[in-house]
Amino acid sequence: AQTVTQSQPEMSVQEAETVTLSCTYDTSESNYYLFWYKQPPSRQMILVIRQEAYKQQNATENRFSVNFQKAAKSFSLKISDSQLGDTAMYFCAFMKQNTGANSKLTFGKGITLSVRP
């Protein structure tokens, strides 16, 4: 079974600054995906960024980037130039690759990020 650990329940950052959210996971699988999902107070869960485990290059999406350390089983999210709209709960998630109809996301407990004006 897979586990995803987000050990920080809450973080706060000043607008325009950079913040890093940590995530570790445990799995015996070789092929998998990792995700960061964002859920603002309005509650719609949206995908922020994804990483395929076989890719060594860290994924980036505009102000969002990850530091993927496969050997250490670490997958942190860096948010640059934080904006007020980044205030949300962030979930780290894992999914095995090639499981077809039985694909399931394993979520971490989440972290509440507050961006201060």
Partner 1 sequence: DTEVTQTPKHLVMGMTNKKSLKCEQHMGHRAMYWYKQKAKKPPELMFVYSYEKLSINESVPSRFSPECPNSSLLNLHLHALQPEDSALYLCASRGQGRDEQFFGPGTRLTVL
Contact residues toward partner 1 (CB under 8 A) are: 33, 35, 37, 42-47, 50, 52, 89, 91, 95, 97, 100-105, 107-110, 112
Are the C-beta atoms of 27 and 34 separated by less than 8 Å? no
17 vs 29, which CB is nearer to partner 1?
Answer: 29
CB of residue 16 to partner 1, shortest distance in Å: 27
How far is 1 from 66, CA to CA, in rounded Å? Answer: 24
C-beta of residue 3 within 8 angstroms of C-beta of residue 103: no
DSSP per-residue codes, 58-95: PPEETTEEEEEETTTTEEEEEE-S--GGG-EEEEEEEE
* Least distance CB 47 / partner 1 (angstroms): 5
**Distance from C-alpha of 34 to C-alpha of 29, rounded to nearest angstrom:** 12
Nearer to partner 1, 72 or 101 (CB): 101
Taking the complex as a whole, the smallest distance from the CB of residue 108 to partner 1 amounts, in Å, to: 7
Between 14 and 53, CB nearer to partner 1: 53
Q: Nearest distance from residue 91's CB to partner 1, in Å?
A: 6
